Amino acid sequence: MQPYCKGRYRARLADTPDDLRASQRLRWLAFVARTGTADDGHALDLDELDADCSHMLIEDVQTGQLVCSLRFLPLADGSQIARSYSARYYDLAALGRFDGPMVEMGRFCLHPDCHDPDVIRLAWGALTRFIDESGAQMLFGCSSFTGCEPEAHAEAFAMLKDRHLAPRAWWPRVKAPDVFRFARALRLRQPDPRQAMAAMPPLLRSYLAMGGWVSDHAVVDHALKTMHVFTGVEIRAIPPARRRLLHALAE
């Protein structure tokens, strides 16, 4: 993907070790610093998958500051699903039968001081470009809720249970040792739609607007103090209006 700009921001793929370290540093600030872990000024969030991924950077052109980062892991088809980050926490055997190219999106983060919605719009435009160029037929990843107490997310979980569970053909099963089976625990709870959407993480709201679906359980991550759900989007199922909007962001 070639670099491109919108307004004061530029999206591009990392192409040097320094680029990757900048992304890993931003990830640490976004995911780890908020847990209260001491910062020596050089701490990084990294894992062995970084070497296999493409890393998208969004920078403020005026200051050069990195304000957003995300990574993509392209897979030829479902037979490679075990390589993904998500497969560490979910039994994705059903998706092993998916017969088209896939992309796992992960580590989507904003700088803690960045609150400009134009950054998110550019990120989705860059993602759209990447998917178009890769020919991916499915986008997937993990969507996180901040906090490990299920009741704090009950309205959102109830909405997911009612309207957004995965198709049986691709059903993610339990693998992680600590999960909250919200579809079972909240089977009788009727969500308030407005409260539920207000409590939904922004990334997950975007997935759902594209016709996305989720696992029937959330994995509890005590280290990062989050709960996350597996999330998938079949590209061909994205509603036409949303598809037009995404391509407009990518222009």
CA dist 117 to 7, 137, 161, Å? Answer: 12, 27, 28
Q: What is the pLDDT of residues 91-145, one digit of tens each?
A: 999 999 999 999 999 999 999 999 999 999 999 999 999 999 999 999 999 999 9
Type of residue numbered 244: R
Per-residue pLDDT, 41: 85
Q: What is the pLDDT of residues 19-36, one digit of tens each?
A: 999 999 999 999 999 898
Residue 243's domain is classified under what CATH number? 3.40.630.30
pLDDT (tens place) for every residue of the chain, 251 residues total = 899 899 999 999 999 999 999 999 999 999 999 898 888 888 999 999 999 999 999 999 999 999 999 999 999 999 999 999 999 999 999 999 999 999 999 999 999 999 999 999 999 999 999 999 999 999 999 999 999 999 999 999 999 999 999 999 999 999 999 999 999 999 999 999 999 999 999 999 999 999 999 999 999 999 999 999 999 999 999 999 999 999 999 98
Determine contact, residues 107/27, Cβ cutoff 8 Å: yes
Per-residue pLDDT, 40: 86
Per-residue pLDDT, 173: 98
The answer to whether the pTM exceeds 0.85 is yes
CA dist 28 to 36, 46, 97, 222, Å? Answer: 11, 8, 34, 16
Q: Provide the number of structural domains found in the chain.
A: 1
Per-residue pLDDT, 75: 98
Determine contact, residues 229/214, Cβ cutoff 8 Å: yes
182 CA to centre of own chain: 20
CA angle 165, 238, 175 (to 5 degrees): 35
User: Residue 100: how many CB atoms within 10 A of its CB?
Assistant: 15
Between CA 23 and CA 142 the distance in angstroms is: 18
The beta strand positions in 61-204, using DSSP E, are 66-75, 90-91, 102-110, 138-146, 173-174, 179-180
Q: Please compute, for residue 246, the number of CA atoms within 13 A of its CA located in the half-sphere on the CB side.
A: 19
3-state secondary structure at position 218: strand
Domain containing 177 equals 4-250
